[in-house]
Amino acid sequence: MAFTAKDYARLVGMAGFSEAMLKNHFTLYQGYVTNTNKLLNTLEQMLNDGKAANPEFAELKRRLGWEFNGMRLHEYYFETLGGNGKVDLNSRLARKKIEDFGSIEAWQKDFMATGAMRGIGWVVLYQDNVSGRLFNFWINEHDQGHPAGCMPILVMDVFEHSFMLDYGLKRADYVEAFFKNIDWKTVEGRLK
């Protein structure tokens, strides 16, 4: 069963994100979906043809992590956007942030500082499925560094394609715009 790119056109017109930047970003995401499907089909065919022991199979199998995670992380990212950024201080997620970080402000300071770090990648608020604890992680590449057994709760793309067209090198301004557009109900829906 092939994956289908989701339609995030509802985000066009969102404050702080130009139409051009969003449409470019949607196209990039659609490429991850297309490439995930191509790789899955090719790998299945190679397996059926008895070609799983060759280096090409191994490299395509490694590449699948990049394409699949690129697809899925963008879905988490886009689904997070479109809200008004207002935090319900009585929500389960707000209480959990206070429990694990000391305060909502301490969590946000850590998340934003992580997003301001030099480099390309993702900032992800994860919930550990074993302990339930929340952590902010920097993920350098799609296919590396994800903590085992953790659920992405909030995902922020900090690859250049997510902000350079609108913000140039002013990543902090992009992070501010991102926070103003978070749909916290969607984010909280991922919390265990």
Question: Averaged over 139-152, what is the pLDDT?
Answer: 92
Average pLDDT of the chain is 96
Q: Convert the pLDDT of each residue in 81-109 to its tens digit.
A: 999 999 999 999 999 999 999 999 999 99
pLDDT tops 90 at residue 16: yes
Q: How confident is the model at residue 142 (pLDDT cuts 50, 70, 90)?
A: confident
End-to-end alpha-carbon separation of the chain, Å?
28
Per-residue CA distances from 131 to 93, 98, 101 (Å)? 15, 16, 15
Residues of the chain with CATH 1.10.287: 18-80
Residues of the chain with CATH 3.55.40.20: 92-188
- Contacts from 166-173 at CB under 8 Å and sequence distance 24+? 166/16, 166/17, 166/18, 166/21, 171/115, 171/116, 172/112, 172/116
Quickly name the fold that domain 92-188 has. minor pseudopilin epsh fold (3.55.40)
Helix (H, G, I), strand (E, B) or coil at 61: helix
According to the model, what pLDDT value does residue 63 have? 95
Q: Convert the pLDDT of each residue in 32-62 to its tens digit.
A: 999 999 999 999 999 999 999 999 999 999 9
Looking at domain 18-80, its CATH class is mainly alpha
